[in-house]
Chain A
Amino acid sequence: MKLTVWTYEGPPHVGAMRIATAMKGVHYVLHAPQGDTYADLLFTMIERRNHRPPVTYTTFQARDLGADTAELFKTAARDAFERYRPEAMIVGASCTAELIQDDPGGLAKAIGLSIPVLPLDLPSYQKKENWGAAETFYQLVRALVDQSVDRPPRLAGDRPRCNILGPTALGFRHRDDLLEVKRLLRRLGVDVNVTAPLDATPDDLRRLSAADFNVVLYPEIAGAAAAWLERTVGQPAVRTVPIGVGATRDFIEEVARVAGVDPSSALEDCATRLPWWSRSVDSTYLTGKRVFIFGDATHAIAAARVASEELGFEVVGLGAYNREFAREVRAAAEKLGLTALITDDYLEVERAIADLQPELVLGSQMERHIAKRLRIPCAVISAPSHVQDFPARYSPQMGFEGANVLFDTWVHPLVMGLEEHLLSMFRDDFEFNDEAGPSHLGHGAPPASPAPAAPVTSALTWSSEAQAELAKIPFFVRGKARRNTEAFAQERGIDQIQLETLYDARSHFSR
């Protein structure tokens, strides 16, 4: 048993729902009690979908348990087929139905539907949402792909064709990433055979084998399917995730290599402003900003590269909640001289952020709430997401336009360079109140004056003089000053921080 306050991922059947909802012509019959229908709202409310997810829940009740839940399942599957006429059906159990062991797969087979029916075995007590999505997509691909399709040898002058794998329902910016990646591929002269699962039909999955290679946008969703396609139909996979300028360039080069095309025109078409925005003098103040990064592995790893190489931040913490990709995250962290935080325990992440006192948090909605509470600026880079992470405007994370979006959304929560300068210049002006915070942050901005955080050790106290001096330090460096001073005092066995301690610490750290 694990004590859990908030969870990063839903159960694996929610992952399966994300695949079914993304696709067309697929219906999911889920053996589950009524409360599990809450999952519909993830799609209709958070993602604002205008249709109910294509899911039929059996909603068995306690009184059915002694009777015949299996029959109930068969009726639900039959009715769903009659009503929705899907081209393929997936069937499975949620956590409760897993315990009553009705075997949805066998039952669905017994009613003899005229369409492919795919039983899903998603162990609810071991696995989670991303795994469920990946497994569902993999099973669908495996069951449907036509392995007999022979790719005609490409003649000189034929355009190479690829599949784009990974974009799905309830994905963080998948809708816009897809457009951006298609634009890159077009520029490279590569055609798209099938995009899946988003908007793909079962027939589209059958045709996957007609492509020359696969582009894996989200390894969390499509990694398993792509590996299988690589093994069985010999399609190589492009696995570079084009988030950030550098990674987008790497992506272009990898696609070009695999497709046998010339990358130069796509590389020249640098529609990104990030490099210049980052070099312009106003950005000098971004140098060494301490940033904490947490999210799904793919987005966290990508964010770490952009933060350190393209914005000049100092990454002080890096982690992910999906253990399946722990190895990759550890490797990325090591490169930055860090130890990765691999956990799905929200409280542990909160502790890490509180201890590190970063100047910026890049995370999921969970970290946004932590940052709000700790009054640290934050930008969202990963699922789990909230309704506001499905913006009306075009807002990709991938490609060159995505890099522009990253620059804006990460830098916006911080104090602007010139503004930072003015804040310290005028901080002693009695009419100037730094509690007001940066002017460009409207309603909802983190209040500027952090409540004094608990000292590093509880024995440590601040003299009132030192406390008052600390308050004069502009808010955006106050946390750092406090942390440094306390660490300094602790090292020297000082119990009460005096005015001198503060200044000694300052000179110590400014060396």
Chain B
Amino acid sequence: MTTLLDTLSRRSQPSPARGREVLRERGQREVFCGLTGIVWLHRKIQDAFFLVVGSRTCAHLIQSAAGVMVFAEPRFATAIMEERDLAGLADANEELDRVVDELLARRPEIRMLFLVGSCPSEVIKLDLSRAAQRLSKKHAPDLRVINYSGSGIETTFTQGEDACLAALAPEAPVAPAGAPPSLLVVGALPDIVEDQFRRLFADLGIPRVDFFPPRRSGDMPPIGPSTRFLLAQPFLGDTAQQLEARGAVRLPALFPFGVEGTTAWLKAAADAWGVAPATFAAVVGPGQERGRRAVERHRAALEGKRLFLFPDSQLEPSLGRFLARELGMTLIEIGTPYLNRTLLAQELDALPEGVVLSEGQDVDRQLDRCRAARPDLVVCGLGLANPLEAEGIATKWSIELVFSPVHGFDQAGDLAGLFARPLRRHALLRV
């Protein structure tokens, strides 16, 4: 049992992460599970429904993470398992079928149903993939049923989106052999950001660009060896593997946070399509300029300030890179729940020397390190933010980074603003 040993003897070992020291932690983790992704995924795929097969805890987690935004009946729900479901598996399957029937009667417009596994459903080994097949067959052709796990024993926060998209990828049609190369942008982005990128790619002369996941389940992009894909988020490792298994080719790049990241990310696509440097410069120039100006406005608040990032979304290395290089912040520690060294190779290269990278968590110990370092700003989850503020440490809750538009040139200023605001507020208050 590695966890125990690692908890007792924190290991620091030189890792393959390009010669950087990575602190591996295996203690208490203060993070959400992958179910949380449903909060933004259900907004993105507009005819999909997410049915968690889990416990009251799972239902309570999603509604707490969503901040009880009950404006309409949401496109997610939980099939809460009860005592009698735990008795025998046959019953659980029948029960699930009944719940799905009930759901479809209420929401006949649903075209895609995700059965989302949880810790309890996994521990009792409820086979949701078989259930999905069975239900798909039963409700074809009106409804496709797909399963993935958002359980906390397997996924951390944003990994839920990865698991969802990895399960969705095989549903995409096969791009015909000899199809002209097409670009696929992978990761749920707000529609407004998607449209901005779409315009930029069109101006670069890339003829076909698709986004994954699509806004409607019927608009699945074809995927095959002619597909070149850009990951919009650093946490999509399993999805990338699925796409690669179908012959698609990943275009490695920095992630599109900040002006530098967005430029590098677009450049990776431009290079794959052989876009002339002059064309590239002309197309991205105005966006870069706007982005730089917007970012610059926050420099005064952030420059030289010391930053500590707790592990949460896996965006931490990319955010650290942006804040260090474009805003002059000093990085103390970058925590990430999981460090994908392949996908993050460019990011790790771009990080300044001297920053501690930590993977996994032992929250009490990490809080000790954090307090000892007295950072000016801490990026952390909702459970830690107010307690740290009460100790006089400014915080930025990390969940906002996945709920608000932060990618691309035109959001670079907003992204910087998310970090500047708490500091500005601290400077402002006289109470």
Task: Give residues in A with beta carbon < 8 Å to B.
Answer: 1-7, 9-11, 13-14, 33-42, 44-45, 48-52, 56-65, 67-68, 71-72, 75-76, 79, 83, 94-96, 99-100, 123-126, 128, 347, 365-366, 369, 373, 386
Which residues of chain B in 108-152 are interfacial with respect to chain A, using CB atoms and an 8 Å cutoff?
A: 119-120, 122-124, 151-152
Report the minimal beta-carbon distance from A451 to chain B, rounded to whole angstroms. 13
Q: Is B332 an interface residue (CB 8 A)?
A: no
Is the interface on chain B under 10, 10 to 19, 20 to 34, or 35 or more residues?
Answer: 35 or more
- Chain A nearest Cβ from B24, distance in angstroms: 14
The CA-CA distance from A56 to B363 in the complex, in Å, is 10
Is B70's CB within 8 Å of the partner chain A? yes
Chain A nearest CB, measured from B365 CB (Å): 10
Which residues from chain A contact B95 at a C-beta distance below 8 Å? 1
Most buried by A among B7, B68, B124, B151: B68
B57 near A: Cβ within 8 Å? yes
B71-122, CB < 8 A from A: 71-74, 77-83, 85-86, 92, 95-96, 98-99, 102-103, 119-120, 122
Asked if A41 and B78 make an inter-chain contact with CB atoms under 8 angstroms apart, the answer reads no
- In the assembled complex, which residues on chain B have CB atoms less than 8 Å from the CB atom of A59? 28-29, 152
Q: How far is the CA of A48 from the CA of B74 in the complex (A)?
A: 27
CB-contact partner of B77 in A3, A9, A75, A94, under 8 A = A3
Say yes or no: B83 contacts A126, CB within 8 Å. yes
Tell me which of A39, A41, A56, A83 has the highest count of chain B C-beta atoms within 10 A of its own C-beta.
Answer: A41
**Cβ of B63 and Cβ of A7 under 8 Å apart?**
yes
Do B79 and A67 have beta carbons less than 8 Å apart? no
Judge whether A2 and B79 touch: CB under 8 Å. Answer: yes
Q: Contacts A38-B383, A95-B55 given; indicate if A369 touches B364 (C-beta within 8 A).
A: no
Check A10/B86 contact, CB under 8 A, given A59-B28, A60-B153, A72-B4: no
Residues of A with C-beta under 8 A to B119? 33, 35, 95-96
Asked whether, in the complex, the Cβ of B387 is within 8 Å of the Cβ of A4, the reply is no
Q: Which residue of B lies closest to A68 (CB)?
A: B1
Chain B interface (Cβ < 8 Å from any Cβ of A)? 1-4, 7-8, 27-36, 53, 55-61, 63-65, 68, 70-74, 77-83, 85-86, 92, 95-96, 98-99, 102-103, 119-120, 122-124, 151-154, 156, 364, 381-387, 389-390
B60 touches A14 (CB 8 A): yes
Partner of A51, one of B36, B82, B385, B387: B387
Among residues of B, the one whose C-beta sits closest to the C-beta of A42 is B64
The complex places the Cα of A80 from the Cα of B29 at a distance, in Å, of 14
Q: How far is the CB of B405 from chain A (nearest CB, A)?
A: 23
Instruction: Name the contact of B71 in the complex, choosing from A14, A65, A373 (C-beta under 8 A).
Output: A373
- The chain B residue sitting closest to A5, CB to CB, is B77
Contacts of B384 in A (CB 8 A): 40, 44, 52
Q: How far in angstroms is the closest Cβ of chain B from A210?
A: 34
B83 touches A4 (CB 8 A): no
Within the assembled complex, what's the spacing in Å between the Cα atoms of A156 and B209?
A: 89
Given contacts A11-B56, A41-B383, A51-B390, contact A6 B70 (CB under 8 A): yes
